[in-house]
Structure 1
Amino acid sequence: MINAAAGAQNRTERFAAYSAHLEAFIATHGHSDVPRDGELGRWVASIRKAGRTGRLPSDKKTALQEMGLTFKPLEGRWEEGFRLLKAFVSREGHANVPKNHTEEGIPLSAWLHEQRREARNDRLPSERRERLVEVGVRGIFASKKHGRDAKFDKHASALGAYKRREGHVSVPRDHVEGGNVRLGAWLAAQRAKALQKTLDPAHYAKLASLGVRLEPSKAVRLGPSKARPARKERGARYWKVLAGA
């Protein structure tokens, strides 16, 4: 118990000491991106990881945030991160930043990893995504839903052009619009999704606004056939004969 208490006290004192150094760094530099090539930088990296994974006590996390610590590298300083990335690309000839790489003491690889994560979660603005792709960054993909929406919009636009030209949306199954948009097959696939109740509601509404009928027409129920009673009567007489009636 004594050793455990001493260990807890040491951790508390260590946290207080590093926090004081971090506060001084923030006051001097105006940000909390401490270079990782020093002891304080490595401590900040470990604290950020603990904060992201939920292992940092909430009171300590709150105190550090109030001090000015951000839990994402270069948070609020995107242009600075992009400048460092361009410097790396200019020097190395590619944008494949190694894991744990720092540029000018800043964790560039961690920043780039965060950009990829933001892109997957549809939180990275398209303008930033385009700039990253332009300098050679790979893996800056939008979410699957974003990709599906983009494909849908492309085909819906082609369908609108078809309707304006032809005056209807009864697209032949093998029709190709604009030379490369397989509009007929795509529209058939949307109808199939509608029947299976898997079509995105927003996509359903868009197609309906273009005049596409997605639900099958209900079959007309015919009245009972006049011949049916006659067949029943013949059947009844047949069974009576068999029974010897």
Structure 2
Amino acid sequence: MDLDLRRYLDELVDAARDVLGDNLVGAYAAGSVGLGAYQAGRSDVDVALLCAGPLTEADKRALVTRLRHEALPCPARGLELVAYRREVAAAGSPEPGFEVELNTGSGMPFRCTLDPGDRPAADGRFWYGLDRSILHQSGLPLLGPPAGEVFADLTPADLRRLLIEALSWWLALLTPPDDRPAPGAEDAVLGACRSLVRHRDGVWLSKVAAGQRLIDAGDPAEVIGRAVAARRGGPPPTGTQARAFQRRVRAEIAGQPD
């Protein structure tokens, strides 16, 4: 692991422990760090905190104050942190279920959500169940027991529903289909690749690794290859390419005819 990132994660856990005391029973790196695909300068740092019991509003606000970028500078594009109660992590629920959510960093908009009910539906409520599923498989312990022991996976039905919701959200977010490179289309395509690999093979991979697995399996190499190349500075797929690929992935996951 990058030394700056390792130092940051250690400081984050220490700061969280200062605020939460014995209520903090676990901390886990998720996302690209957990999947072994962290890319300095591009990736976010995803962290899940595990709490023995509910957090007071004062605890939530104190945690945000201590961990926001202005107090603890994040060496990545930004920090995406979510705190869960232990019982929520163990439930395998598809609901958001978090105690507090914090997005902060030099390269991302600030977000602080103290209650799941305050999360705008338009921003997607599927993220959390999917993230906990990834944590179940690949969470990297920073504090506490192995992630697979504390984060339960989703049921197959809930997983399918959340994957479909995620693909529908990306489709709505993308610009209307045309033949010009569409900003953000690479993340939409590679996110769909990861969803499809999870559906087919039962394993979460990084976005690029999922794309490569699909290319190797004979899936549309042009649009996936273009999305991978865009991660290195090339032009992203066009809106037409991205939407067509996502619709095909969504139809397969939903069990509908292509």
- What's the TM-score once normalised by structure 1's chain length? 0.27
Greater share of strand: 2
Where relative contact order (Cα < 8 A, 6+ residues apart) is larger, the structure is: 2
